[in-house]
Amino acid sequence: MTLSSTVSVSLGERSYKILIQAGLLTRLEGRLSELGVKGKAGIVTDRHVARHYLGGVLRQLKQCGIDAVPIVLPPGEQSKTLDAIKRILDVLARHRFERSSFLFALGGGVVGDITGFAAAIYQRGIPFIQIPTTLIAQSDSSVGGKTGVDHRLGKNLIGAFYQPKEVWIDPLTLRTLPRREWAAGLAEVIKYGIIADEKFFSYLERKMPGLLKRQPDIVAAAVKRSCEIKADVVTADERESDRRRILNYGHTIGHALETLGRYESLIHGEAVGIGLVQEADLACFLGICDQTVVQRIQAVVRTAGLPDRMPQWPSAKIWKAMLHDKKVSGGQVVGVWPEQIGQVRMMPIDEQTFRQWHRTAQRAASGKKPSGTRAAQRRR
């Protein structure tokens, strides 16, 4: 695996390239001139990322004669609001940005989602470039064109599909990522193995120690394969009418836990880590996969340093949070279930079945009774 590669996202006139190169962030000149970035450009970032990378990016833009305007937001999910969008739009309007002016998203998934949405709506759409700096953003959120912000009543409730002009991934930026954020990103990477590629999943099983040490070649390979799988899925279904929903694996339970923890007790990737394991367990309960699938997922999630157990919240509360999600259709929650590693199926689940599984799983977790398939439960 070289430390430099390109993944293409083929979406007709909205097609774009994902460049993965160690050190890319220090060599932007060629890309800027090839994409025709000139005049004014806005760089949206957050305070943490600004401390490490904003100065270098600003310097290069200025060297290329670009009038760069930094917009530094407070870090974290709390910034993913319409207020942040308003703040960005105010700056763009005040500096008289034009239809051809570029926006850069320099940061994690939060910065990427906010910036993409601002780019989508300022003058009905200006070009933007993703420069993701977290593992979640490099392996997942910077690709695919889902942009938006949260609403008091739900995560990602407001947004637009809007594709970037290019994605610039420099895996070296991951060296400054806090350990907790690193593990959180591994949850999304593991997800790709489960939904689409058994070979990749077993690579992750073998290489997890190297990934945890952030060995550049292994990191670049994991990011690249994740981007390829996401690009394939998005190409087949840009607007999530069907196949794209497989990307939600681990997120049905994951999002509910994230909401119930108020985005603090569990960060996104940690909630997804639990979701990956528990949704496999639920699939096993439904008779969709066998126990070895659950065990393999659980082992790799644990080795990644992620939580895998359900917090002690009542079933009714978790179900209610699941119903608030966008994956609901006609009052039923549409889940994504592994049939085996590398292959998933979509199927709705009702409240009664969910609660039955949850009771069984809680009992098994407290050591009172073994878990098992629903059929086995009935036989008992």
Ligand X SMILES: NC(=O)c1ccc[n+]([C@@H]2O[C@H](COP(=O)([O-])OP(=O)(O)OC[C@H]3O[C@@H](n4cnc5c(N)ncnc54)[C@H](O)[C@@H]3O)[C@@H](O)[C@H]2O)c1
Binding region for ligand X (CB under 6 A): 46, 48-49, 52, 75-77, 80, 107-111, 113, 133-134, 136-137, 140-141, 144, 146, 156, 173, 176-177, 181, 184, 268
Tokens at residue 238, please? 């840009």
Beta strand 332-340 with 343-349 is antiparallel
Q: Which residues are catalytic?
A: 124, 146, 188, 230, 240, 244, 248, 251, 255, 268
In angstroms, what is the minimal distance from the CB of 57 to ligand X? 12
Q: 21 in helix, strand or coil?
A: strand
Contact 108, 116 (CB under 8 A): no
Give Rg (Cα) of the chain: 21
Q: Which is nearer to ligand X, 95 or 239 (CB)?
A: 239
10 Å Cβ neighbour count for 244?
18
Strand residues in 22-59 grouped as ranges (E): 40-46
Q: Which residues contact 314 (CB under 8 A, 6 or more apart)?
A: none
C-alpha span between 326 and 239 (Å, rounded)? 13
Enumerate long-range contacts of 174-179, CB under 8 Å, 24 or more apart.
174/133, 174/134, 174/135, 174/138, 174/214, 174/219, 175/214, 176/52, 177/133, 177/134, 177/135, 179/305
In angstroms, what is the minimal distance from the CB of 35 to ligand X? 21
C-alpha span between 74 and 232 (Å, rounded)? 33
Identify the sign of the CA torsion 197, 218, 271, 232.
Answer: negative
String of DSSP letters for 187-237: HHHHHHHHHH-HHHHHHHHHHHHHHHTT-HHHHHHHHHHHHHHHHHHHHH-
In angstroms, what is the minimal distance from the CB of 177 to ligand X? 5
Q: Which is nearer to ligand X, 214 or 302 (CB)?
A: 214
Q: Which is nearer to ligand X, 131 or 294 (CB)?
A: 131
In angstroms, what is the minimal distance from the CB of 108 to ligand X? 2
Q: Which is nearer to ligand X, 177 or 229 (CB)?
A: 177
In angstroms, what is the minimal distance from the CB of 271 to ligand X? 10
Q: Which is nearer to ligand X, 56 or 370 (CB)?
A: 56
Q: Which is nearer to ligand X, 181 or 238 (CB)?
A: 181
Report the run of H or E that residue 316 belongs to, with start and end: helix 315-323
In angstroms, what is the minimal distance from the CB of 146 to ligand X? 4
Distances (CA, A) of 288 to 128, 197, 270, 275, 291: 42, 18, 24, 16, 10
